[in-house]
Structure 1
């Protein structure tokens, strides 16, 4: 830092490639280590976290736990991650320097080390880490297989963005030969609103499934399936995503046809596909003003999502179902639906589930209809306090409407008018 005027800026921008720290770490630290230690450091520098068993698997040698203990006691830029010192990480500056010391041969070997790390994590059920290392190793067939085995569970946990990132690294050819992975990716794309090219992908999945069906007991050449348990779900899921695509395009009639086809094709125990199809039918009936039919279908959808273990989606279905009951004047039933949804949300560990703020807003609307204005205001404030991460995109509109109606009932007509004007202006701005 000597001779620098902007010391704070220099510290903020400091990185492992900086000449000063680079020279110090290479000449005064790395080169002074025994050959076995230097080799260990270079073979493990790519790991985000280190343990004795993991390093044994990666390096192919035993005694890594003792090596880590020695490095830690020698203050060799090793940071413990737990109180028992079973897991460590390298200081990021030191890891940066170690990676710069890898020559071409070492970088080729690095792919093999990543594959070993992937195997180790997969054997312990840590599939996310296994996928990450398989992709880093450029072992794309293995990565595709691991993603196929993980994708449906990750969708349940709403980890679509992680899957989408993986798919950006994975060659498309590795996906196209796998109908189960392909239908999983179609679901991810639909969830994040990427409908461009979805129909083409669905046709490809259909062709792969048809080839498997025609081949009987043998897997046809050029087709691969890792998660055989998901294979019977494929036809129903193809129709499900076609139903969603039709509704996005505004073709409600086609959406209804495809959704009804899901209920014909999906196995009885495929609660997720059947629930999603019922919910899409509920949307179609709701848009046509057929509220009783919409209510019945949304009830099926919510209950099926709960059976499938998709708790976050259950909240979304509960919001729609509560709003329909509110529109039908079924205030007690609407209140019960929202209250149960809050219990479901509260039973989950942090962070607060997305949609929880919307449930508070819905309950405020019900309580306002029941003339319990004080309780309605409490739920509206609770909705606002939960913040953006706990709300769905439509909640701001519903919140402003509920606030305006409450202000009107409380006798604050000027405040109600001001809220509606703000809401109208914000809605206009978001559309433009």
Structure 2
């Protein structure tokens, strides 16, 4: 006997009610709860007890037993003739096992007792199911107190006391595991305490399940066998479901009364629980479900597999494709797994459900080497994609594509789209934007001919494909096409609530905005993308590198050096997962520009040489990135004074041409510099920074020639273009020549006065950038560990949260300290805050 004073207090607090209903399933502790309260004095009431049985279905027997119980307890005088009015002493009568009353006459007798018990008599009804009497009248009038299974469940302190009585001392995790498995069910805990060997507590807890003989025998005798055969069959068939609705139950049982049956079961034992207020979804007690499922699997394996298949198809039809795949995998129906994957679930690899989906297809994927069927190869490709093993994924996709002709006709389109999506991912990982565009165009053509009702994932595939097309066109340098596809992807992703592709589309739109000088829009989109991505930390890296990259571009153009350094470091960490080579190259190219501003021209040129070599291995060197690298190299050469190398070298793109023009101006070739600058200033396709800087150069050239009016006019145009977006960098490049010109502009021209003042303030300190990016970027896991450091959690606690060992945490910390250039946790926090990581 475990003392449970909280239940006694609960029974005492319900004393104001005429009737207390203790209603819960078998083994929930109803009897001992009432007995413990009576043993504690029952609030000074005279205590009577009657355990009902089958014989009490005879009203005469029922009334005789009630009267006898009251007489034994001295609640009524001996010889009383069933006069409840004779109960004048404050008394309580506990009627245990009220569920044994099934006959209408007996239930009528119980109803009369409840209604005519007399003011001195309080009733406590302990039952596995609410009796069919008019309890609603008592409930409405406030004369009914109800104590149900949730209140009777053991809490941690009570469970610890129970195990101590059995000589078992459990750790907190062990106790938590048993409480979760038993849901605090009294008999479940008692059986666990009896079955666990004190010499091997961990093993005993691991082996304590619903199919263990003592538990299974109790549940069979006290729960399953008490139901009629049709309900037993219902319970067995539906035990495959971790949660069950009426509609799913009907599918599994070929019935039409699933919801009614579940409602009745939930009212009967307390081992079937409603999960929502509308009572649409239910769950079975974990131990009960284990017992039922074990019996079904043992007695009728084909039926168990068929139930799993039906469940898989049902979930596929009701918008839960990952669960559908998981159930098909449990059924070991590999063809169904593949069909559900390509038709409905594969886009969820770009969602927080990705780990669950990969775990579901893993058993199929592991067989691909032994039996490379289409189903196994597609599952293997999905696993490889999730792990960023793109070379192995490519091999699977190639083998699968050769088998595409053998796929059933109704599956061929979705299978082709799935394979093309994998091919696009490989192109993105390798930094081949033109291949990405080609794959996207093929997939989009397929989707435009797909029949949506037969192809559940078509809208999500379309979002992925549009996003990929937009990214490919962006890095190829096709701004209009990139914007069209990315805007379409963002709009459709938002409508579908497909968050991670939405984040990706917003991030790359922000890059396009920043490149072309729409800085406020770029910053707004990028920050919105980061905020959305932070809802799903495990998916953060692959989806925010472009957002941070766009912020770096914004800060660079605004000469906000410290913020630019922070954004570059975050972009580098976010692109560390190998899923987007173009993004990694872009981060390095932008880092070159910041290094030039800091005066580290040698570092910038070394990065440029490596980038040129890497980009030539793909096709990235022909697009936007090539222009960035060439321009950054040219800026570094001009800053280093290596003018011949700039004048003689190739200079594709407006930014690089500006560097050549600047070099010519510095070299005294003002005529050629003017020709180049004027062409760039008049180019309608030039981005904002290029247009502003071209006019700044024209102003400087005019000033050099003492054409004062032309200088003022060119500078006025440059200021008018730059001021709305606060573009400062073009005015700071030749700071030693521009200061006097800006001061004269301030005196002669009234417009842009505040902006000119702001530029002059930036020209005063010659120190350049205040903050620099890390030489070696932090990985995503190092960033996460860094964010734990201000919490003062121990290394072992951080490891528990991240599901890694304490040694792994220590390894991350060692690398983190090295990259930050610090020796301890406190300095790492300070450095992290200075760099904007915290």
> Please, what TM-score do these two structures have when normalized by structure 1?
0.65
- Structure 2 partner of 1:45: 239
Structure 2 residue matching 1:88: 3-state secondary structure = strand
Q: Shift of the alpha carbon at 1:308?
A: 5.8
Matched, 1:138 2:363: no
The equivalent position to 2:435 in structure 1, one of 244, 258, 282, is: 258
Matches within 5 A, 1:283-322: 283=475, 293=477, 299=483, 302-303=486-487, 305-306=489-490, 309=493, 312-316=500-504, 318-319=506-507, 322=510
Assess if the C-alpha contact under 8 Å between 1:279 and 1:300 holds in 2.
no
Assess if the C-alpha contact under 8 Å between 1:274 and 1:301 holds in 2.
yes
Assess if the C-alpha contact under 8 Å between 2:507 and 2:546 holds in 1.
yes
CA RMSD across the alignment:
5.0
The equivalent position to 1:4 in structure 2, one of 149, 152, 167, is: 167
The 2-side partners of 1:183 and 1:23 are apart by 44
Q: Shift of the alpha carbon at 1:235?
A: 8.6
Structure 2 residue matching 1:47: 3-state secondary structure = coil
- Structure 1 partner of 2:520: 335
The 2-side partners of 1:117 and 1:234 are apart by 24
CA gap of 1:169–1:337, structure 2 versus 1, over 3 A, is same
The equivalent position to 1:75 in structure 2, one of 259, 266, 269, is: 269
Deviating more after overlay: 35-44 vs 81-90: 35-44
Q: Shift of the alpha carbon at 1:421?
A: 8.5
Structure 2 residue matching 1:200: 3-state secondary structure = helix
Structure 1 residue matching 2:283: 3-state secondary structure = strand
CA gap of 1:114–1:274, structure 2 versus 1, over 3 A, is closer
The 1-side partners of 2:346 and 2:410 are apart by 13
The 1-side partners of 2:354 and 2:256 are apart by 38
Assess if the C-alpha contact under 8 Å between 1:49 and 1:88 holds in 2.
yes
Q: Shift of the alpha carbon at 1:83?
A: 0.6
- Structure 2 partner of 1:392: 574
Matches within 5 A, 1:221-370: 222-230=406-414, 233=417, 240-241=424-425, 243-244=427-428, 247=430, 255=432, 258-259=435-436, 261-262=438-439, 265=442, 267=444, 272-273=464-465, 275-276=467-468, 279-280=471-472, 282-283=474-475, 293=477, 299=483, 302-303=486-487, 305-306=489-490, 309=493, 312-316=500-504, 318-319=506-507, 322=510, 332-343=517-528, 354=540, 355=543, 359=547, 363=551, 366=554, 370=558
Assess if the C-alpha contact under 8 Å between 1:144 and 1:175 holds in 2.
no
Please list the CA deviations of residues 184-237 of structure 1 after superposition, one character each: whole Å capped at 9, or x if unmatched.
Answer: 97477445412243333333344235xx4xxxxxxxxx4324345547757965
CA gap of 1:150–1:6, structure 2 versus 1, over 3 A, is same
Structure 2 residue matching 1:302: 3-state secondary structure = helix
Please list the CA deviations of residues 145-200 of structure 1 after superposition, one character each: whole Å capped at 9, or x if unmatched.
Answer: 2222114543564644344333323354998446xx96797477445412243333
The 2-side partners of 1:258 and 1:193 are apart by 18
The 1-side partners of 2:416 and 2:168 are apart by 67
The 1-side partners of 2:422 and 2:219 are apart by 56
The 2-side partners of 1:202 and 1:110 are apart by 33
The 2-side partners of 1:297 and 1:188 are apart by 32
CA gap of 1:48–1:174, structure 2 versus 1, over 3 A, is farther
Unaligned runs of 5+ in 1: 213-221, 286-292, 385-390
Q: Shift of the alpha carbon at 1:25?
A: 2.9
The equivalent position to 2:389 in structure 1, one of 189, 194, 200, is: 194
CA gap of 1:257–1:344, structure 2 versus 1, over 3 A, is closer
Structure 2 residue matching 1:101: 3-state secondary structure = helix
Unaligned runs of 5+ in 2: 1-161, 179-207, 449-461, 578-583, 599-761, 779-814, 821-838
Assess if the C-alpha contact under 8 Å between 1:56 and 1:64 holds in 2.
yes
- Structure 2 partner of 1:216: none
Q: Shift of the alpha carbon at 1:50?
A: 1.6
The count of corresponding residues between Structure 1 and Structure 2 is 378
The 2-side partners of 1:39 and 1:24 are apart by 18
- Structure 2 partner of 1:59: 253
Q: Shift of the alpha carbon at 1:11?
A: 3.2
The 1-side partners of 2:775 and 2:397 are apart by 44
The 2-side partners of 1:343 and 1:135 are apart by 38
Q: Shift of the alpha carbon at 1:34?
A: 3.7
The 2-side partners of 1:223 and 1:112 are apart by 23
Deviating more after overlay: 417-426 vs 54-63: 417-426
CA gap of 1:175–1:313, structure 2 versus 1, over 3 A, is farther
Deviating more after overlay: 340-349 vs 186-195: 340-349
Assess if the C-alpha contact under 8 Å between 2:247 and 2:258 holds in 1.
yes
CA gap of 1:51–1:308, structure 2 versus 1, over 3 A, is closer
Assess if the C-alpha contact under 8 Å between 1:112 and 1:137 holds in 2.
yes
CA gap of 1:182–1:340, structure 2 versus 1, over 3 A, is same
Structure 2 residue matching 1:197: 3-state secondary structure = helix
CA gap of 1:16–1:298, structure 2 versus 1, over 3 A, is same
> Please, what TM-score do these two structures have when normalized by structure 2?
0.37
The equivalent position to 1:16 in structure 2, one of 205, 209, 212, is: 209
- Structure 1 partner of 2:310: 116
Matched, 1:94 2:288: yes
Q: Shift of the alpha carbon at 1:347?
A: 8.6
CA gap of 1:426–1:22, structure 2 versus 1, over 3 A, is same
- Structure 2 partner of 1:149: 343
CA gap of 1:174–1:82, structure 2 versus 1, over 3 A, is farther
Q: Shift of the alpha carbon at 1:46?
A: 1.9
CA gap of 1:262–1:323, structure 2 versus 1, over 3 A, is closer
Please list the CA deviations of residues 29-53 of structure 1 after superposition, one character each: whole Å capped at 9, or x if unmatched.
Answer: 3344444333332222221112223
CA gap of 1:44–1:295, structure 2 versus 1, over 3 A, is same
Matched, 1:168 2:345: no
The 2-side partners of 1:427 and 1:55 are apart by 56
Assess if the C-alpha contact under 8 Å between 1:272 and 1:304 holds in 2.
no
CA gap of 1:105–1:187, structure 2 versus 1, over 3 A, is closer
Q: Shift of the alpha carbon at 1:81?
A: 0.8
Please list the CA deviations of residues 243-286 of structure 1 after superposition, one character each: whole Å capped at 9, or x if unmatched.
Answer: 346x2xxxx6xx36634644775556667546525634655x6x
CA gap of 1:21–1:194, structure 2 versus 1, over 3 A, is same
